[in-house]
Structure 1
Amino acid sequence: MPCTANVNMLEKVAGSIEASKGVFVIDYLGLSVKETQELRRALREVGAEMKVYKNNIVKIALKNAGQPDIEELLAGPCAYVFYEKDPVDAAKVIKEQSEKLKKMSFIGGIADGKALSADEAKAYADLASREELMAQLVYVMASPLSGIAQVCAGPARGLVTALKAVADEKDAA
C-alpha cells in the first residue's frame, strides 16, 4: 500500500500536468531561496510555475497522463516548470535567469506533445514570441497594401502637382 503523502503528491503532479500545455525540466541545484523566489515570480508573470516533486512520482504521473517518456532525464535534483500558454515565454525566462545566475540549466522537457532534450528545450528560448511573430505577420501583410495605396494615389498626386504649377505660373504672370 503506497504512502498517503506520495498518493497526495501524485494527485498534485497529475493536476499540474493536466492544467499545463507542457513542462520544462531544469537543474536548479545551488539556487538560494531568494533566487528561487525571483525565478518563480518571473515565471508566474508569463503564465508558468515551478514545482519541485519527487522524480519517481513525476514519472508515474507522466505515464498515467499519456505524455512522452522522459524517464532518462529525471535523475538527481530537478525542478519542473509547467507552462499554461506559450512554451517560448517560459523558456526565455529560464534562459535569462540561468544566464543571470549561472546556477541552473535545462535538462529537457515536453512541448507540443513530444519529448525534448536539453538542447531542444534551450532552442525554444531562441524562438520569437507569439507577439513578435504576430507583429512580423502584420508587417508582411501591410507592406503590399501600403505599396498599392501609394501607386493608386500617384496619379492624383501628379494631378495636384500639375494644377499647383499652373496656378503658380498664373500668379507669377
Structure 2
Amino acid sequence: MARPDKAAAVAEIVEQFNESAGAVLTEYRGLTVKQLQDLRRALGQNANYAVVKNTLTQLAAKEAGVEGFDDLLTGPTAIAFINGDVVEAAKGLRDFAKANPALVIKGGYVDGASMDAKEIAKLADLESREVLLGKLAGAMLASLSQAVYLLNAPLAQAARIVGALEAKAQQDPSILAGGAGAPAAAAEEAPAEEAPAEEPAEAEAAADDAAETEAPAAEAEVAEDAPAE
C-alpha cells in the first residue's frame, strides 16, 4: 500500500474511533463472507463492522488516544465501531459468537476505557439503554407521584374545610360576622321540667301517716261532744 493510501486508511480509522461510542476488537478467522454479512445485518445501526489491518489500526489507535489494543492486534482483525446502543452492540456480537464460535471477541474500548473480553461479556448482559431509561423514568414518576400526594393532602383537607364553612355560612350568615349563629327563640326553648311524681310506695306511706295524725283528733272531738253520764 502506497504511503498516501496508508495515510488515508489511518485517517479513516482514526475518524471512526473518534465518532464512535466504542469499539470492539474481534478475530474473524474461519468466518465466511456470508457469515460476515450476516453479522453486519445482525448489528444493524448499532455498529459498523469493518475488517482492518493490524499495523494501520495500531497507528490509528495511538493517534486517536485509544489504549489497550497493541497486544490484541494479532491475526485477522475486524473492529465493530459502535454507533448506537453500546449494550445492544455487545449483545449482538455475543449472540453471534455463540452461534458462530469462529468469531472471537478480544476486547474493546468503551467510554474512554479499555475492556477485556470478560468485561465485554458483562456489558452484553446488561439491559438495553431504553429499558434502563424506562425503569429510571418509572422510579422517578413513582417518587414524583408520592411527593405530589404529600404536598396536595393538606390542600385537599383545607378545601374540604372551606367548603363546609361556605355551606354553613349560606344557612347562617352570622358566622361570617364572627358570631356563633342566631340565638334560638324563647318559644323554641325546651319546657321547664315538671316535678317528678312520687313513687307509689312513697305515696301510700305518706297517706298512712296523714290518717294516723287525723284519727286522734277526731276521737277527741267526739269525746267533748258526748253528754256526761
Q: Name the TM-score class by shorter chain.
A: 0.7 to 0.9
How far apart, CA to CA, are the structure 2 residues paired with 1:103 and 1:58? 21
How far apart, CA to CA, are the structure 1 residues paired with 2:24 and 2:58? 14
The yes-or-no answer on 1:8 pairing with 2:8 is: yes
Amino acid corresponding to residue 64 of structure 1 in structure 2: E
Residue 128 of structure 1: aligned partner: 127
Count of residues in Structure 1 that have an aligned counterpart in Structure 2: 154
How far apart, CA to CA, are the structure 2 residues paired with 1:148 and 1:9? 56
1:91-130 deviation digits (Å, cap 9, x = unpaired): 0110111112232121001011011111112211111111
Tell me which structure has the larger Cα radius of gyration: 2
How far apart, CA to CA, are the structure 2 residues paired with 1:91 and 1:42? 11
- CA positional deviation for 1:43: 1.6
SS of the equivalent of 2:84 reads coil
- Structure 2, unaligned runs of 5 or more: 154-229
Residue 25 of structure 1: aligned partner: 25
Deviates more, 1:13-22 or 1:89-98: 13-22
Q: Structure 1 segments of 4 or more deviating over 4 A?
A: 144-152
SS of the equivalent of 1:29 reads coil
Contact 1:62/1:69 (<8 A) preserved: no
TM-score by length of 2: 0.60
RMSD: 2.5
TM-score by length of 1: 0.77
Residue 74 of structure 2: aligned partner: 75
Contact 1:63/1:69 (<8 A) preserved: no
- CA positional deviation for 1:69: 3.4
SS of the equivalent of 2:125 reads coil
- Structure 1, unaligned runs of 5 or more: 153-173
How far apart, CA to CA, are the structure 1 residues paired with 2:77 and 2:55? 11
SS of the equivalent of 2:109 reads strand
Residue 56 of structure 2: aligned partner: 57
Contact 2:45/2:83 (<8 A) preserved: no
Contact 1:23/1:109 (<8 A) preserved: yes
How far apart, CA to CA, are the structure 2 residues paired with 1:36 and 1:67? 25
